[in-house]
Chains A and B, each alone.
Chain A
Amino acid sequence: MRKSIFKSEDLTVRFDTPEGEVQAVSGLNLDIAAGETVAIVGESGSGKSQTFLSVMGLLAKNGRASGKAVLEGRDLLKMRPSELDVYRGRDISMVFQDPMTGLNPSLRISRQLTETLEVHQGCTRKEADARALAMLEAVGIPDPKRRFRMYPHELSGGMRQRVMIAMALLCEPKLLIADEPTTALDVTIQAQILELFGQLKRGFDTALILITHDLGVVAGLADRVFVMYAGRVVEEAPVDDLFEDPKHPYTKALLASTPRIDTDLESLEPIPGRPPNLQRLPKGCAFAARCAFAEAQCHELRPPLKSIANQRTCACLLVEAEEREPV
């Protein structure tokens, strides 16, 4: 049975800047169940990271979040920092793109890992050590006993990323948010980490939110996909449907511009131009300036995200809901 773990409603993130307000994320609605993997894809600057930094209470000082971000009935956005602290690292953890942001450079790997266990779970030092070592082993760190005594800078990028993941997993969170967890890694290491996420999903029933710009990573791991453009979700679909039958012009264009290792392509179809400046978002559809299908109305009206089929939404003026099949 589907057990909803986390739900966001109209989640919006704004930043105050000297040049005016930046609306980095607008009205995100997301619902994720135990054991489910949801991917958030989109170009650089489309709002993927800020969405979930806001959920973790980690926005920059000039940022504000509104709407709701509900973890098992409690709205994280309304919690006091001390209260949020209890949830972070226990029920919800985040793996960052740059593993150095998540690791304390002056602490040995052992201490980074055992601290949360002692604080959040009341483990003794000995218990904590044993569990941490077992987890390092589980995430595929070679020679974990020796690495346990090292500092972050003594490890390779791939190993640091695995330590971050081990840290995030130690408390067996209900929701794990992974922000570009493999972008900085070589493909052979990336494959190891993705395999690890796959095991997690099967073994621990963890709900996983995977933030990435890499459609290959999405295809290999996600159950459902949200495509973001300029701070908004433009399409949401189960993974097979999205790749087989993309509906939104941006999703189609993104797939057509992605090189593939498994086929000979003559050339790619690039998307012309570049994403809009979030401080000066156009009045109509944010993708209109680059969209091959744009019509006059696209420059005037902002397309709402609407349901177009079972489990599918799309924000394009030209995409209509499918006729419902008679039951």
Chain B
Amino acid sequence: MSQTLLEVQDIRTEFPVSGGGLFQPRRRLRAVNDVSFILRQGETLGVVGESGCGKSTLGRSLLRLIEPSAGRVLWQGEDIAGLSPEEMRLKRRDMQMIFQDPIASLDPRMTIGDIIAEPLTVFERSLSKAERRSRVLDVMDTVGLSGDMLNRYPHEFSGGQAQRIGIARAIITRPKLVVCDEPVSALDVSIQAQIINLLQELKRKFGLTMIFISHDLSIMRLISDRIMVLYLGRVVELAEKSALFADPKHPYTRALLSAAPVPDPKAARARQRIMLRGDPPSPLDPPSGCAFRTRCPLAEERCAQRVQELETVAEGQEIACEVVAGSL
């Protein structure tokens, strides 16, 4: 069993939002709600869920790009909440992030070479100019960018190339953990596949640990070892990939899987769909008890009574639903 890299305990992240009217008190929107999990060295944890369920906020909270309001994040056993801003900055050498919008996340006034080299100027100040340049060329080669692009600017690149630049920059310090926030969602499938293969190769070559955020379950199936399903800021299912796809247990996971389109007309016609009604409720005003109950086909009266806790229902598979868990 490989060792634990990251342990997250009941992390909670809130945003202050206006109450809606002039004289309404400010309210707190709970974007991430008591999330706990363990991440082992070298594994890829997929985080999936609908828009607004808190995926990005969770990713950013783990790196303390947003301060969580409660809970603990243990990095190799050490609670990072206690670190000073300077100490935290240095920790980020080991924890990097890749974003969804490749072009917008790159500074338009900097050359590609400078963008990729930037983390080195922070974390490895002692490098000579020549050493730095050779590291940049090295990493550009790893991600499939040709070295003669070094002096060009971001706007000259396509989305797929810009995402390679983002990846090069994220891995140049050889981090242990990379949080990828929808890294391929803005790309066409043909380009998407290039980037996914690149990430898989990096994982094999460098033993990279990844948190891979996406709303696309077919990409999850390809890249993740374990998958966490979020609904309105809470984990509803956390399972090994094989278990999740073979036998999803939480009603929401089941609906998500059955709704995802399949690129095969015969399979599409044969599929049984679980159609959910309506939209996810507002996180400002979540339903009592199980937040999924307003759309859940199995909802019962008791679902409104209390918040559901994760419990193990099969090997490597936890769900937060007492109704399903009780029937197994």
Contacts and interface: CB of A to CB of B under 8 A. Distances in A.
Contacts of A187: 50, 215, 217, 256, 259-261
For A158, A259, A272, the residue with the greatest tally of chain B CB atoms inside 10 Å of its CB is A259
Interface in A296-326: none
Interface in B205-257: 215-219, 221-222, 245, 255-257
Contact of A156 (B255, B275, B277, B279): B279
A181 B279 CA distance: 17
B301 interface: no
Contacts of A213: 188-189
B21 to A, nearest CB: 14
Contacts of A215: 189, 263
B194 interface: yes
Nearest to A156: B279
A264 B197 CA distance: 15
Contact of B263 (A140, A142, A189, A258): A258
Contact of A257 (B190, B216, B276): B190
Contacts of A44: 188
Contact of A271 (B193, B245, B261): B193
B268 interface: yes
A262 B194 contact: no
Nearest to B267: A262
A77 B261 CA distance: 35
A159 B279 CA distance: 8
Given A217-B261, A257-B192, A189 B221 contact: no
Nearest to A189: B279
Interface string A157-173: 11100000000000000
B25 interface: no
Which 9 residue pairs of A and B lie closest in terms of their CB atoms, listed nearest first? A216-B261, A270-B193, A271-B190, A191-B259, A268-B193, A215-B263, A257-B193, A261-B218, A270-B194
Interface string A87-113: 000000000000000000000000000
Interface of B: 50-51, 158, 160, 188-194, 196-197, 200, 215-219, 221-222, 245, 255-268, 273, 275-279
B217 A188 contact: no
B190 A43 contact: yes
A190 interface: yes
Nearest to B271: A262
Nearest to B49: A186
Contacts of B217: 187, 261
A267 interface: yes
Given A215-B189, A262-B267, 17 more contacts: A142-B277, A158-B279, A159-B279, A187-B259, A187-B261, A188-B50, A216-B268, A219-B267, A220-B262, A258-B193, A258-B263, A259-B221, A261-B218, A261-B257, A262-B262, A271-B190, A272-B194
A213 B185 CA distance: 12
Nearest to B261: A216
A24 B199 CA distance: 33
A219 B268 contact: yes
Contacts of B260: 187, 216, 261
A216 B273 CA distance: 14
A240 interface: yes
A28 to B, nearest CB: 20
A254 interface: yes
A220 B268 contact: yes
Nearest to B242: A264
B262 A261 contact: yes
B142 to A, nearest CB: 16
15 contacts: A43-B188, A156-B279, A159-B279, A191-B275, A216-B262, A217-B261, A220-B262, A253-B190, A258-B189, A260-B264, A269-B193, A270-B190, A270-B191, A270-B196, A271-B190
